Chains A and B, each alone.
Chain A
Amino acid sequence: MDKIFEKPESIRDAGTHYCPGCGHGIVHRVICEVIDDLGIREKLIGIAPVGCAVIAYDYWNFDVTEAAHGRVPAVATGIKRSLPDRIVFGYQGDGDLGAIGTAEIIHAANRGENITIIFVNNTVYGMTGGQMAPTTLLKQKTATTPSGREQKIHGFPLKVCELLSVLPGVVYAERVTVHSPQNILKAKRAIKKAFENQIKGLGFSIVEVLSPCPTYLGLSPKDAIKFVGEELTKEYPLKIFKDIT
């Protein structure tokens, strides 16, 4: 019998620590499928962030390091500049990339570092207990916005792809989502392109992935998926913001 579906070599055979309905597992899997497809597992260094994905190395079957909170792009820069023929990618959440690490992401992007960043936006801090993220929607309730995010107090949701796409060092910026099988396939195409750009030496690529966090959205996994598809995509439109490859 032909095998038509199997675990990518780049994924370890491990039980998941992610909550039921969390999008991280899907994003991990998609990245690992791409790595297998491109045959780059053995020349790859991945960087895990601080946040729910901090132990991504438990799932990834290739060389992995773990950066201080927000510093993934700086660590990636150090690795890639030292080993230019290896493939380096950073995995960051919205707090990591959009709050504590904004300086690092903007300057790595602006230098045009030849790296790939996968940015998982689920609008909330998961690891620390559901606090407001820079990407939290207005009126969204979190542990630190109990009455909902108010612009006058907390500012606006941060648009990372929009912000980065104006920088000349960025060659590719796309926002995708993993809330439906069709969109997961689109996400895979975007992530594959972001890695191919690096293989071709084109420069900085980022894929923002909208992802459900049922636990801290206070929704069932099903409703969290609906929230991503119907609410998040309004604030964060799905599109290719930049492609000069």
Chain B
Amino acid sequence: MATYAVGVVIVAKKVLMCGNEALAEAAIRAGCRFYAGYPITPQNEIPAYMSKHMPEAGGVFIQSESELAAINMVFGSSLTGTRAMTSSSSPGISLKQEGISYLAACELPSIIVNIMRGGPGLGNIGPGQSDYFQAVKGGGHGDYHMIVIAPASCQEISDLTMLSFDLADKYRMPVMILGDGILGQMMEPVEFKDGTKLEIKKDWILDGCKGRKPRVIKSLILKEAELEEFNLKLQKKYNQIKNEEQRCEVLYRDDSEIMLVAYGTPSRICRSVVENLRKKGKKVGMIRPITLWPFPEREFKKLAKNVKSFLVVEMSCGQMIEDVKLAIDCARPVHFYGRTGGEISSEDEIIKEIENING
């Protein structure tokens, strides 16, 4: 059985960690060797963990002067073929948007972690999910996408962080891990799996042109026809990802009349709601998107054939609900219940919403 080093203490198999620490440890195990970030709550455990453990792994930790600098340092590291990551929370992620657009344009694999808090503006440091649009619709300029991954437990944070690095390398693009303040702060047992098995040759990196022709990594394409061609190439890649990388979890697929839809922390509350109502014989289920982009449209389309209605539960004023409606082409009623500002739905509130729908 493998043992894992946490600080100076060697512990066995499962370790108790907060989500932010689990994410940082998983990143290092996935081969991340460059981290740059700027402090912001509620993700501060990530840079703190990286500052200690990244040098131990032979990697680089930099506390940058700003989020702008951090994302551009990641840009620089990634183009050398290094697995590179930055993390922040909502206001800081807004600052990174410029860099994310350049990463997408230069097709540089990279991991951006957003442990979302309440917004808009400075908002507060409570948990939030109001950066969904920004994450999945392309918060920066231009026609681009990131793969957006939404874990819902510390274990999943660990597993999906490792997956994220592989997806970033496989498709040569930025991947966002979208968590919220609760997931970042909450402690749970984690068992770290083995790191990447992906073998990929990065024959595009800049490391000096010894023995080969010089390479250029850039995003300026002045000729209209060439830029259009490049955009269409990106879209082709995005379509392949839509085809191959949709991920979700479905509870009670076969007989549910009402299907809850939630990701991240609200999905944990919805899971309790579903299990409790099931004990009372209510036909309630849940679909939990794990990839927010690509959105698990295929599963939604299948569910829409039998489900009577959907109830989307978010820690926002209603963002993912738009993708649910698009996915099922408004074939069923889609209801919404959201709390915002750092507030969290209770089970009772959600049950009341379900009762209202049942009328």
The answer to whether A45 and B206 have CB atoms under 8 Å apart is yes
Q: Mark A73-116, 1 if CB is under 8 A from B, else 0.
A: 01111111111001100000000000000011011000000000
Which residues, 13 to 62 on A, are CB-close (under 8 Å) to B?
41-45, 48, 54-55, 57, 60-62
Q: Which residues of A contact B222 (CB under 8 A)?
A: 55
Closest B residue to A48 by beta carbon equals B218
Q: Which residues of A contact B207 (CB under 8 A)?
A: 45, 63, 83, 86
Interface centre among B36, B65, B102 (most CB of A within 10 A): B65
Q: Which residues of A contact B219 (CB under 8 A)?
A: 66
Given A62-B209, A66-B220, are A104 and B69 neighbors across the interface (CB < 8 Å)?
yes
CA distance A189 to B82 in the complex (A): 34
Q: Which residues of B contact A74 (CB under 8 A)?
A: 64, 68-70, 72-73, 75-76
The residue that B102 contacts in the complex, of A45, A62, A64, A68, with Cβ under 8 A, is A68
Interface centre among B72, B74, B217, B218 (most CB of A within 10 A): B72
Which residues, 69 to 87 on B, are CB-close (under 8 Å) to A?
69-70, 72-80, 82, 84
CA distance A41 to B183 in the complex (A): 47
The answer to whether A65 and B65 have CB atoms under 8 Å apart is no
CA distance A104 to B98 in the complex (A): 15
CA distance A107 to B67 in the complex (A): 13
The answer to whether A66 and B75 have CB atoms under 8 Å apart is no
The answer to whether B214 and A82 have CB atoms under 8 Å apart is no
The answer to whether A57 and B216 have CB atoms under 8 Å apart is yes
Asked if B34 is at the interface of the complex by the 8 Å CB criterion, the answer is: yes
The answer to whether B220 and A79 have CB atoms under 8 Å apart is no
CA distance A45 to B222 in the complex (A): 23
Count of chain B residues near A, Cβ 8 A:
40
Shortest Cβ distance from residue B123 to the other chain A in the assembled complex, whole angstroms: 24
CA distance A183 to B207 in the complex (A): 33
Shortest Cβ distance from residue B248 to the other chain A in the assembled complex, whole angstroms: 34
Q: Which residues of A contact B15 (CB under 8 A)?
A: none
The residue that B72 contacts in the complex, of A41, A67, A83, with Cβ under 8 A, is A67
Asked if B208 is at the interface of the complex by the 8 Å CB criterion, the answer is: yes
Q: Which residues of B contact A45 (CB under 8 A)?
A: 80, 206-208
Asked if A188 is at the interface of the complex by the 8 Å CB criterion, the answer is: no
CA distance A109 to B211 in the complex (A): 32
Asked if A71 is at the interface of the complex by the 8 Å CB criterion, the answer is: yes
Q: Which residues of A contact B73 (CB under 8 A)?
A: 74-75, 77-78, 81
Number of A-B residue pairs, CB cutoff 8 Å, is 128
Q: Which residues of B contact A77 (CB under 8 A)?
A: 62, 69, 73, 76
Asked if B279 is at the interface of the complex by the 8 Å CB criterion, the answer is: no
Count of chain A residues near B, Cβ 8 A:
35
The answer to whether B220 and A65 have CB atoms under 8 Å apart is no
Closest B residue to A54 by beta carbon equals B220
Q: Which residues of B contact A86 (CB under 8 A)?
A: 207-208
CA distance A23 to B329 in the complex (A): 59
CA distance A57 to B64 in the complex (A): 27
CA distance A42 to B74 in the complex (A): 23
Shortest Cβ distance from residue B91 to the other chain A in the assembled complex, whole angstroms: 17
Given A71-B99, A78-B36, A86-B207, are A64 and B62 neighbors across the interface (CB < 8 Å)?
no
Shortest Cβ distance from residue A67 to the other chain B in the assembled complex, whole angstroms: 7
Q: Mark B102-114, 1 if CB is under 8 A from A, else 0.
A: 1000100000000
CA distance A74 to B78 in the complex (A): 12
CA distance A214 to B180 in the complex (A): 54
Shortest Cβ distance from residue B83 to the other chain A in the assembled complex, whole angstroms: 10
Closest A residue to B210 by beta carbon equals A42
Q: Mark B181-220, 1 if CB is under 8 A from A, else 0.
A: 0000000000000000000000000111111001111111
Q: Which residues of B contact A (CB under 8 A)?
A: 33-34, 36, 60, 62, 64-66, 68-70, 72-80, 82, 84, 98-99, 102, 106, 206-211, 214-220, 222
10 contacts between A and B (CB under 8 A): A45-B208, A54-B220, A57-B218, A63-B206, A64-B214, A74-B72, A78-B84, A79-B77, A81-B34, A103-B66
Q: Which residues of A contact B (CB under 8 A)?
A: 41-45, 48, 54-55, 57, 60-68, 71, 74-83, 86-87, 103-104, 106-107
9 closest A-B pairs (Cβ-Cβ)? A78-B76, A74-B72, A78-B73, A107-B65, A42-B210, A75-B76, A66-B218, A78-B77, A71-B72
Known A57-B218, A107-B64; 10 more pairs at CB < 8 Å = A45-B80, A61-B214, A64-B206, A65-B76, A65-B106, A66-B217, A71-B75, A78-B36, A82-B82, A83-B207
